[in-house]
Structure 1
Amino acid sequence: MTEALLIRITCPSKDVAQKIADASVEQRLAACANIEGPVTSTYLWKGVVEQAFEHVLWLKSVAPCWNALETLVNKIHPYDVPAMVAMPVSHMPAPFATWLDENTKAPAQ
């Protein structure tokens, strides 16, 4: 089994999150996407504390897809520095792991 990742990306709108979700799943870079929100985010940007309403996009993917996903997010996402982090998945049921592997495909190098 390939290393599973749970990827979290904050987006400025549901529309942006949906565009990234659709492209990720269509290109098989992620097997599934979930959108939550809006949430309130507080962050430091260029020395100023900012607040914004954002949507959280969760992608279920595998490590070999990370680079292509990062490129895709940077292409679609309007932020200069999208907040995109990946967490390794340490446990999951075997049928889910199989489904994840069957529904993701890293692009050829």
Structure 2
Amino acid sequence: MIDAKLGACAQIVGPITSVYRWEGAVQTEPEWRVEIKTTSDRAAALVDHTKAHHDYDTPEVVAVPITGGSAVYLAWVIEESKAC
């Protein structure tokens, strides 16, 4: 995702324990959360890329808006997430 310039930075958190219902049964599994900083105009491409390359049938992909932060950092995110 970073190499494809779909995001500027990815942070991998885990393993974490996820408990969820899937196909009628409660599952408990170790997972890793990947947080990718990108721009709103690259979010759809990032979702498509994730779905195409993830081994889950329904990977968890959510977008959380950035409402503020360091102007220098946010400018870097914009620059690093630009389509080639």
Q: TM-score, normalised by structure 1?
A: 0.73
> Is residue 41 of structure 2 the alignment partner of residue 69 of structure 1?
no
Q: Which residue of 1 aligns with 2:17?
A: 40
Q: Which residue of 1 aligns with 2:69?
A: 92
Structure 2 unpaired stretches of 5+: none
Deviations 1:45-88, CA, capped at 9 Å, x for gaps = 11211010001101000111111111111111011100111100
User: In structure 2, how many angstroms separate the alpha carbons of the residues matched to 1:106 and 1:43?
Assistant: 35
Deviations 1:21-65, CA, capped at 9 Å, x for gaps = xxx111111000010110000001112110100011010001111
Matched letter for residue 58 of structure 1: E
| Contact 1:68 1:106 (C-alpha < 8 Å) held by counterparts | no
Q: Secondary structure at the match of 2:56?
A: coil
- What is the identity percentage for the equivalent residue pairs of Structure 1 and Structure 2? 35
User: In structure 2, how many angstroms separate the alpha carbons of the residues matched to 1:37 and 1:46?
Assistant: 24
Structure 1 unpaired stretches of 5+: 1-23
Q: Secondary structure at the match of 2:62?
A: strand
User: In structure 1, how many angstroms separate the alpha carbons of the residues matched to 2:76 and 2:54?
Assistant: 28
Q: TM-score, normalised by structure 2?
A: 0.93
Aligned alpha-carbon RMSD (Å): 1.1
Cα offset, 1:106, TM superposition: 4.0
